[in-house]
């Protein structure tokens, strides 16, 4: 369980990535049922830290000692082609061996790499830097087409705004989907930018217009329960299946089928948290024909079973989370 968060910065830190970490973990949203953290920004020598923006500096009061107490240590974007201060690397290594979780945004992955924490580990960074990351750290398993990678204790995320997705992912994994949604609402972003797991989306903002697949996406999202083939979707979009598949990838970064099962798992997650429907029924409502299919995809995408997920995040109490000052309820344990 995460209760304290430290962000490590040094000269040249990028304000946006620093800012999103402050926004995600430094805001008090307890009135809406989200957890609050002991949140600190730390640097080797406290004082004025220049940012990557000329003429803008931040005043940091905490030194690296505060990192020692943090359950989650975050690394925002930092100059990727210069060595990080040895004290920072030591602090990160210590945090890791102590059992803390680590999160990097954008070029922050290079600092984790310098600390030797990426060897043999799946990770990512901004698409402009993936090659450099792989070259500098040959042992790292760099993935280039994802918004973020969660490899157990270390989460690395792609450029800029993908850091928000990684933060929301952490909230989801630690506190459940409804808390993640609360935080997302607070930050006014989509709860799960999951249509596109890709960093690259050819047409950046698929706004509602005739040129776009948005209507079909909306329809799909609203009709998860019906079994629908990709061919039928293509017909609905007035395209050949081949063109539909291509356009779909261009706009969402995924394939139709993957997008759909993703939405279905998200829906099932909510049902597990907020209702007491049987797995069988949830499977039906989410559009998985059978409970077996639900278990299969849920396990594949979430690394756990629907039942286990419900035990940690669900139960009837969780349904009232709107009103109740939240602490995650420890639902029934046992096998």
Partner DNA sequence: AAAGGATCCCGCCATG
Partner DNA sequence: ATCATGGCGGGATCCT
Interface ranges with DNA (CB under 7 A): 229-231, 239-243, 245-247, 249, 255-258, 288-290, 292-293, 296-297, 300
Q: Between residues 113 and 256, which has the closer beta carbon with respect to DNA?
A: 256
Element (H, E) at 101: strand 101-105
How far apart are CB 69 and DNA at their closest, in Å? 41
Q: How far apart are CA 108 and CA 271, in angstroms?
A: 36
Q: How far apart are CA 26 and CA 39, in angstroms?
A: 6
Contacts of 230 (CB under 8 A, 6+ apart): 241, 244, 245, 256, 257
How far apart are CB 89 and DNA at their closest, in Å? 37
Q: Between residues 83 and 289, which has the closer beta carbon with respect to DNA?
A: 289
Judge contact between 262 and 217, C-beta under 8 A: no
Judge contact between 318 and 178, C-beta under 8 A: yes
How far apart are CB 293 and DNA at their closest, in Å? 4
Q: What does the DSSP assignment read for 158-201?
A: -STTHHHHHHHHHHHHHH-HHHHHHHHHHHTS-S---S--SS--
Per the rule left: phi > 0, alpha: psi between -120 and 50, beta: everything else, 253 is left
How far apart are CB 243 and DNA at their closest, in Å? 3
How far apart are CB 300 and DNA at their closest, in Å? 6
Q: Between residues 46 and 241, which has the closer beta carbon with respect to DNA?
A: 241
Q: Between residues 91 and 265, which has the closer beta carbon with respect to DNA?
A: 265
**Cross-strand pairs, 60:** 47
Q: Which residue has the tokens 């990426």?
A: 118
How far apart are CB 56 and DNA at their closest, in Å? 38
Q: Between residues 257 and 324, which has the closer beta carbon with respect to DNA?
A: 257
Q: Between residues 30 and 255, which has the closer beta carbon with respect to DNA?
A: 255
């Amino acid at each position: 369980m995460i209760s304290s968060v430290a962000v490590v910065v040094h000269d040249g830190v990028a304000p946006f990535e620093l800012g999103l970490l402050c926004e995600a973990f430094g805001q008090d949203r307890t009135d809406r049922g989200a957890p609050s953290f002991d949140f600190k920004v730390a640097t080797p020598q406290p004082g004025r830290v220049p940012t990557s923006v000329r003429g803008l500096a931040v005043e940091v009061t905490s030194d690296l000692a505060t990192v020692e107490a943090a359950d989650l240590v975050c690394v925002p974007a930092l100059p990727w082609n210069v060595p990080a201060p040895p004290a920072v690397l030591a602090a990160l290594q210590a945090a890791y061996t102590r059992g803390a979780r680590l999160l990097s945004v954008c070029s922050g992955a290079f600092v984790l790499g310098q600390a030797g924490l990426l060897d043999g580990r799946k990770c990512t960074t901004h698409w402009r830097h993936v090659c450099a990351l792989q070259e500098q750290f040959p042992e790292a398993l760099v993935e280039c087409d994802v918004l973020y990678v969660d490899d157990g204790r270390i989460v690395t995320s792609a450029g800029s705004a993908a850091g928000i997705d990684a933060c929301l992912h952490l909230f989801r994994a630690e506190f459940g989907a409804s808390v993640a949604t609360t935080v997302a609402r607070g930050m006014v972003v989509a709860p799960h930018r999951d249509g596109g797991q890709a960093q690259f989306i050819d047409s950046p903002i698929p706004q509602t217009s005739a040129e776009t697949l948005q209507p079909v996406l909306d329809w799909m999202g609203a009709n998860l329960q019906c079994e629908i083939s990709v061919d039928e979707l293509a017909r609905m979009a007035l395209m050949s299946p081949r063109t539909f598949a291509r356009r779909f990838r261009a706009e969402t970064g995924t394939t139709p089928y993957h997008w759909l099962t993703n939405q279905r798992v998200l829906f099932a997650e909510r049902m597990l948290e907020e209702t007491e429907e049987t797995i069988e029924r949830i499977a039906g409502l989410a559009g998985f024909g059978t409970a077996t299919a639900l278990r299969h995809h849920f396990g594949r995408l979430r690394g756990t079973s629907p039942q286990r997920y419900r035990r940690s995040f669900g139960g009837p109490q969780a349904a009232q989370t709107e009103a109740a000052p939240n602490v995650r309820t420890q639902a029934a344990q046992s096998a």
